[in-house]
Amino acid sequence: MRMKYFIGLLLSIVIFTSCGQKKKITYRIYSSVDNTYSVEVPSDATQGRCILDFMSFENTNSHLTITIQHINEGSIEEYIRNKHTTDNTFSYNLFQSSDTTSFYRITRGNNMWSAYDLYMLKCLDGKNYLFNVSSDILGQSEIIEIIKHIYTSMKLNEIGKGADAAIEEAEVVSLEKTYSTKFYSVKYPKGWNVIEHLDEMTEVYIGHQPENFGFTIVRFKTDCTLSEVNAEGNENLRQAGFKILKEKQMTVDGMKCYRAVQEISSQGQKVKHISYTFKKGDILYNIKFGSVTTKKQDNIATEIIDSFRFK
């Protein structure tokens, strides 16, 4: 009896030790074909199809697939909805979610098969990059470690830094006037017109008529998250004929904000808008600059947004 107990104890120690010893994952650095960025990918993964800033990798032994790509969508949910990446024959259980993370566990019917399909979104140099890592063999903690390591390791290569930066120097415009409500204040240049309650949605329009350049402020209460409102807004814009040229995350007076550069063709000409969407509490704000045609106007928009303050 004592011998059986001793053997059982040894077996339990061996099992416990083997379970406790986590396999260390090693990584190798890869750069995108256009040399925009570099990432660290598990060294046992083989590089697959790579075009410009799109990269893919796989490991046939662990059924691991990895893709990294630039997307125009402002959120993971919007990308999944637009690309129809889900399959109705499977069940998708979202077990971890944030503005930059969507982790799914996939099952099929009543059988024992399951897989992990993980997404992370990162803004790099004004562009959104989507990471997708999946496997039906790797465990949850291991595959999460892999995608987080790849996500954290992504860096802009020197050749890509400032590639979109304008070389034109713009005149600095003084913001001498202040528009103020009990909720916020914002500065604007002298000589601009102020029109309150332009319509049911627009709280105020402030602009310079000779240049047909200015901005509107929309403010309303909503229970939706900022990412949900932003994703729905982008979809509505696309249906209206707009293109989302760039989108990045920033802050406005300490609050998270989505800055989007939008473009639409009007009477044979392309018109650019710059939109800032942010939220404080349950109040959503959108400040949009229309007819942005010069670098000077772009800089004015930035200065005005920097002057915005909550009360």
User: Rounded to two decimals, what is the model's pTM?
Assistant: 0.47
C-alpha distance across the termini of the chain, in Å: 77
Q: What is the rounded CA–CA span in Å between residue 130 and residue 55?
A: 11
Give Cβ neighbours of residue 204 (< 8 Å, ≥ 6 apart).
179, 194, 195, 196, 197, 198, 216, 217
Last residue of a domain, one of 135, 160, 185: 160
pLDDT value at 61 more than 70: yes
Q: Does pLDDT of 10 surpass 60? A: no
- Does residue 251 sit in the same domain as residue 139? no
184-188 β-sheet, strand order: 177-180, 184-188, 309-310
Same domain, 191 and 249: yes
Domain that holds residue 111: 22-160
**Average pLDDT for residues 108-122, to the nearest whole number?**
85
pLDDT over 90 (residue 276)? yes
In three-state secondary structure terms, 189 is: coil
28 and 140 in a single domain? The answer is yes
Amino acid at 231: A
CATH code for the domain of 83: 3.40.1000.10
Residue 150's pLDDT is 93
Which alpha helices (H) appear in 118-250, and where do they start and end? 140-153, 226-239
149/186 same-domain check: no
Q: Which helix (H) or strand (E) holds 115?
A: strand 114-124
